[in-house]
Amino acid sequence: MAKGIASGFPLSAIGARAELMERWTEGSHGGTYGGNPIGCAAALATIDVIRSDGLVENARERGLQLLEGLMQLKERFCALRRVRGLGLMAAADFHDAGDLDGARRLTAGVIDHCREHSHVLLLPVGPWDAVIRFMPALVVSPAEIERCLDALRCALDDLTGVSANGDRVPAGAVGFPLPGDDIPTTREHRRRSLSLHG
């Protein structure tokens, strides 16, 4: 475990069963994020905030809100094939084995639409960039979750051509009004961005 364990200060921890941890000999494991007094103080302060601000409970409640909202979108939009998640880590999967390019293009279009029209930033994941990962901060509010779901709903409305009365429209029935077929994948966007700015 690392990253958030000390609110950004370099520190990590290992969690395992006692019988496994007892096999380590002293000094057999170390690294950049090994414990030090300042890092440990930062971690203890982080744990205090997680407890005092009820962030575990917030993650549970907001995670349910997010997953329920994504499931409602899945019922409305055939292009949204699967929804999965636990707590505040969720995924909306547009992967279609029969049309990988179309799924990738739709995912890229949804991400672009959310950014341009709703100012919501989303991240594609998976080998075909056809899954959107949601992993908001533990302090996320109900209004922020709803804003994200609204952005996704608007993008899917516009890109899949769902009817005004909310009828479920099959994936690809209207066609995705996205840029040309040569849309680069997110990884290609990253490479281009690095070459332009680095």
Task: Please give the C-alpha separations between residue 141 and each of 18, 123, 136, in angstroms, as whole numbers.
Answer: 37, 19, 10
Can you give the pLDDT at residue 167?
A: 58
CA–CA dist 40, 5 (Å, integer): 10
CA–CA dist 27, 196 (Å, integer): 44
- The answer to whether the predicted template modeling score (pTM) of the entire model surpasses 0.85 is no
Task: Please write the tens of the pLDDT for every residue from 15-70.
Answer: 899 998 888 887 777 776 666 889 889 999 999 999 999 999 999 999 999 999 99
Task: Please write the tens of the pLDDT for every residue from 144-198.
Answer: 999 999 999 999 999 987 544 455 554 444 444 444 444 444 444 444 334 433 4
| Mean pLDDT within 2-8 | 81
Strands of 89-93's sheet in order across: 82-86, 89-93, 131-134, 123-125
Which one of 3.90.1150.10, 3.30.9.10, 3.90.550.10, 3.40.109.10 gives the CATH number of domain 55-197? 3.90.1150.10
The DSSP secondary structure of the chain, one letter per residue, reads --GGGGTTSS-------HHHHTTPPTTS---TT---HHHHHHHHHHHHHHHHTTHHHHHHHHHHHHHHHHHHHHHHBTT--EEEEETTEEEEE---TT-HHHHHHHHHHHHHHHHHHH----EEESTTS-EEEE---TT--HHHHHHHHHHHHHHHHHHHT--TT---B-TTSS----S-TTPPPHHHHHHHHHHHH-
pLDDT band at 124 (very low <50, low <70, confident <90, very high): very high
Helix axes 142-160, 55-76, angle to 10 degrees: 20
Give strand pairing partners of 186.
none
**Looking at the predicted structure, is the pLDDT value of residue 110 above 50?**
yes
User: Which two tokens mark 152?
Assistant: 């996704």
Give strand pairing partners of 83.
92
**Looking at the predicted structure, is the pLDDT value of residue 90 above 60?**
yes
The residue extents of the domains of the chain are 3-52, 55-197
pLDDT band at 10 (very low <50, low <70, confident <90, very high): confident
Can you give the pLDDT at residue 34?
A: 67
Longest dimension (CA), the chain: 66
Can you give the pLDDT at residue 14?
A: 81
**Looking at the predicted structure, is the pLDDT value of residue 131 above 80?**
yes
